[in-house]
Chains A and B, each alone.
Chain A
Amino acid sequence: MRLVSFLALGALFAVGLGISGMTQPLKVLGFLDVFGAWDPALAFVMGGAVAVTFIGYRFVLARPHPFLGASFDMPSRRNIDVQLLAGASLFGVGWGLAGFCPGPALVALASGSLDVVIFVAAMFVGFLAKDLLVASDAAGPGLHADVP
C-alpha cells in the first residue's frame, strides 16, 4: 500500500507539473525574464501549490501520525548556512540556463527528447558529485535527504 502510494503520487505530481506549464522550458524562461517580456503565468503554479499545501499541512500535522507510517519525518534544521545559499545559487544558475528544475526535467523525459536525457543524466551526475565531494550530515539522508 505504501509503495503503491509512491507510484500514484509520482504520477499525480507529474500530471500537475505538465498541466501547470512547468515542463515547458521556454515558458519557464519567460517567467524568469522579469527584465524583458515577462510572462507571469507560472507564478500561479507556486501560488496554487503553496495555498493547497499550506492549508493541507495544517490538517495533516494535527493528526498523531501519517496513515501509512508511524511518525512524521519533518526536516529539523533551522540554520541558514553557506551551503544553503551556495547550493540555491548554483541551482538558480542551472535553472536559468536550461529552464528545467528537477521535477519537470524528469517528467519531460517522456517527450523522448535526447536533449532532456542529456540534461537529466548531467543532473544525476551532479547529485552524485555532491555526495562524493561534500561531507554530508552525520544523520545521513532520509527519504527526502536533507530537504528543508
Chain B
Amino acid sequence: MIEPGSIPAALFGGALIGVAAVLMLALNGRILGVSGIAAGLIAPTSTDRLARALFLVGMLAGGVAIAVFLPSALPGAVSGNVLLLIPAGLAVGFGTRLGGGCTSGHGVCGMSRLSGRSITATMTFMFVAMVTVFIVRHLLEGN
C-alpha cells in the first residue's frame, strides 16, 4: 500500500501531475493551471465553461477515488476555525487570480517553460508561505 506523502509517493504523484500537464498541452494546447480553469467557470467574461466544468468534475471524481482507496490522503482541513479558513480561502482565490496562477500554472507548467514570470511568482509564494508558517507556528503559537 502506498503511503501518501512519503518520498516515493511524492515523486510518483508528482510525476502523475506532470503527465497530466503534458497531456493537457499535447491534446488541447493548453497550460494546466487550476486557479485559471476554476476561476473561469464563474468569471463574468469567460470561454469554454463546459470544458472547465468537466475538468473540475474529473477532479472531484479523482478525489472520490482517493477517498475510497487512499483515505489517509484526504484528512480534510487542518483548522476548523472558520475565522481562519475564510480569510485563507479569500487570499488564495484573490491572490492566484491577481498573480495569474498557482502551484500548477506557475509552479509546474510555468517553471517547466522556464518562464521568468512563473519562476518569480513561485519563489514569491513559496517564500511568503514559509514566512507565514513561521509567524503562525513560532511567533504566535510559540512552538
Q: Do the beta carbons of A124 and B38 come within 8 Å of each other?
A: yes
Q: Do the beta carbons of B73 and A21 come within 8 Å of each other?
A: yes
How close is B1's CB to chain A, nearest CB, in angstroms? 11
Q: Secondary structure of the B side of the interface?
A: helix
With A45-B11, A120-B89, A143-B52 known, 15 other A-B pairs at CB within 8 A are A4-B54, A9-B20, A11-B61, A13-B20, A14-B59, A21-B13, A52-B21, A72-B29, A92-B131, A94-B88, A97-B84, A103-B104, A118-B82, A143-B30, A146-B100
A9 and B22 alpha carbons, distance in the complex (Å): 10
A8 and B84 alpha carbons, distance in the complex (Å): 33
Q: Do the beta carbons of A127 and B19 come within 8 Å of each other?
A: no
How close is A81's CB to chain B, nearest CB, in angstroms? 9
Contact residue among A7, A20, A86, A130 (Cβ-Cβ distance under 8 Å from B58): A7
Q: Do the beta carbons of A60 and B26 come within 8 Å of each other?
A: yes
Contact residues of A between 65 and 90, Cβ < 8 Å to B: 65-75, 77-80, 83-90
A84 and B4 alpha carbons, distance in the complex (Å): 32
Q: Do the beta carbons of A119 and B108 come within 8 Å of each other?
A: no
Q: Do the beta carbons of B54 and A10 come within 8 Å of each other?
A: yes
Residues of A within 8 A of B133 (CB): 29, 32-33, 36, 96
Q: Do the beta carbons of B54 and A3 come within 8 Å of each other?
A: yes
Contact residues of B between 21 and 52, Cβ < 8 Å to A: 21-40, 42-48, 50-52
How close is B81's CB to chain A, nearest CB, in angstroms? 9
**Chain B residues close to A by CB (< 8 Å):** 2, 4-7, 9-40, 42-48, 50-52, 54-67, 70, 73-80, 82, 84-113, 115-118, 120-122, 124-134, 136-138, 143
Q: Do the beta carbons of B63 and A106 come within 8 Å of each other?
A: yes
Q: Do the beta carbons of B66 and A147 come within 8 Å of each other?
A: no
Residues of A within 8 A of B84 (CB): 97-98
Q: Do the beta carbons of B17 and A10 come within 8 Å of each other?
A: no
User: 8 shortest A-B CB distances, which residue pairs?
Assistant: A126-B93, A10-B58, A87-B99, A21-B5, A20-B13, A14-B62, A122-B89, A52-B18
A32 and B48 alpha carbons, distance in the complex (Å): 35
Decide yes or no: A19 and B126 within 8 Å by CB, A33-B134, A123-B89 being known contacts. Answer: no
Residues of A within 8 A of B33 (CB): 144-145, 147-148
How close is A23's CB to chain B, nearest CB, in angstroms? 5
Q: Do the beta carbons of A127 and B56 come within 8 Å of each other?
A: no
Contact residue among B19, B27, B120 (Cβ-Cβ distance under 8 Å from A68): B27
Residues of A within 8 A of B12 (CB): 19-20, 48
Residues of B within 8 A of A141 (CB): 36, 39-40, 43, 45-47
Residues of A within 8 A of B94 (CB): 87, 90, 126-127, 129-130
